[in-house]
Amino acid sequence: MPRDPVTYPTAWPAWSLARQTGVVELAVGEAVNDTSARPHRVTALLAAMLSHVDGQPSTQGLIRSLSMGTREWLLQQLAALCRPAEDWYDLKCLGCDVGIDMVLDLSALPRTDPGGSFPVAEIRVSGRHLRFELPNGFHEEALADRGLTGLAALEHLLSACLLDGDLSDLDAADLDAIDAALDAAAPDCSDCVTLTCPDCGATQTARIDPMRYAFPGETAVLREVHLLGRSYRWHEADILSMPSRRRQTYVRMITTQERIR
């Protein structure tokens, strides 16, 4: 039976940051270091750092409804706020294992706009007219939870994204054609860079994942909570609810006083 799409209809939505407090910093750090699958961690991080998306509260449900490309784009935009505009990144050559240093601006990575019918793609294959919604965070998380790969993952994804039509009896070539058509219709932001090793001359593509290096972990904020709690006997919840700048000002005052003693 036909259904309406769940995928959010804007590929590059307006967004605003949440008020920066220890609560937000701790949630971000926990998302970075959590052992759950990456799609779940991306959802938690985006929901914590953003206050609104297109004027709507940034709930985890809204974050999950964003297309896969939209989620990666937002992740890159937020990561760029945590790093210098043009930052150095250390990569390793796949050919000779030598370290390669490169400068990269995460906020300026290229992106590709979606097809005109976004978030829906209409595809004809083997004489059938099929309608799909573009994959979103719900789909990403479901695939990760099931641990599916290869053809099984593709079959599950296409079935989950199907809005109208029948996938029965389609062969692997048909499914691959649908997958390619969905990729072409979806918004995309590059997470790869091409580089040449200065030592061996090998050209290679490296994936840049902001979840691995761009965001701070929870250790720094917990250290500051410990220092303020020890010095002022404040409760953790009260310290974490402070604006981050105020908390850091108190920390600087304490450390300055300790150096003077």
User: Considering the domain boundaries, does residue 198 fall inside one?
Assistant: no
User: Considering the domain boundaries, does residue 28 fall inside one?
Assistant: no
Shared domain for 135 and 182, answered yes or no, is: yes
User: Considering the domain boundaries, does residue 178 fall inside one?
Assistant: yes
* Domain end position, chosen among 167, 188, 209: 188
User: Considering the domain boundaries, does residue 5 fall inside one?
Assistant: no
* Whether pLDDT at 197 is above 90: no
- pLDDT-derived band at 1, boundaries 50, 70, 90: confident
Shared domain for 173 and 233, answered yes or no, is: no
Shared domain for 184 and 124, answered yes or no, is: yes
* Whether pLDDT at 85 is above 80: no
Shared domain for 183 and 226, answered yes or no, is: no
User: Considering the domain boundaries, does residue 244 fall inside one?
Assistant: yes
* Whether pLDDT at 164 is above 90: yes
User: Considering the domain boundaries, does residue 24 fall inside one?
Assistant: no
The residue range of the domain holding 156 is 120-188
Rg of the chain over Cα atoms, rounded to whole angstroms, equals: 22
Amino acid making up residue 83: R
Q: What's CA 122's distance to the chain center, in Å?
A: 27
* Whether pLDDT at 91 is above 80: no
Mean pLDDT of 113-138: 96
Query: Rounded CA gap, 231 and 163, in Å?
Result: 59
Query: How much is the pTM?
Result: 0.90
* Whether pLDDT at 228 is above 90: yes
- How many other C-beta atoms lie within 10 A of the C-beta of residue 26? 18
Looking at the 3D structure of the chain, how many domains does it have?
2
Q: Which helix (H) or strand (E) holds 199?
A: none
53 contacts: CB under 8 Å, gap ≥ 6: 8, 13, 14, 15, 62, 63, 66
User: Considering the domain boundaries, does residue 248 fall inside one?
Assistant: yes
3-state SS assignment for residue 175: helix
Return the minimum-mean-pLDDT range out of 44-58, 95-109, 231-245. Answer: 95-109
Query: Rounded CA gap, 67 and 79, in Å?
Result: 18
Structure tokens at 229: 């709690």
3-state SS assignment for residue 152: helix
User: Considering the domain boundaries, does residue 252 fall inside one?
Assistant: yes
Query: Rounded CA gap, 41 and 32, in Å?
Result: 7
Structure tokens at 131: 């309608």
Bridge partners (DSSP) listed for residue 129: 124
Peptide bond into 135 cis (omega under 30): no
108 contacts: CB under 8 Å, gap ≥ 6: none
Shared domain for 222 and 184, answered yes or no, is: no
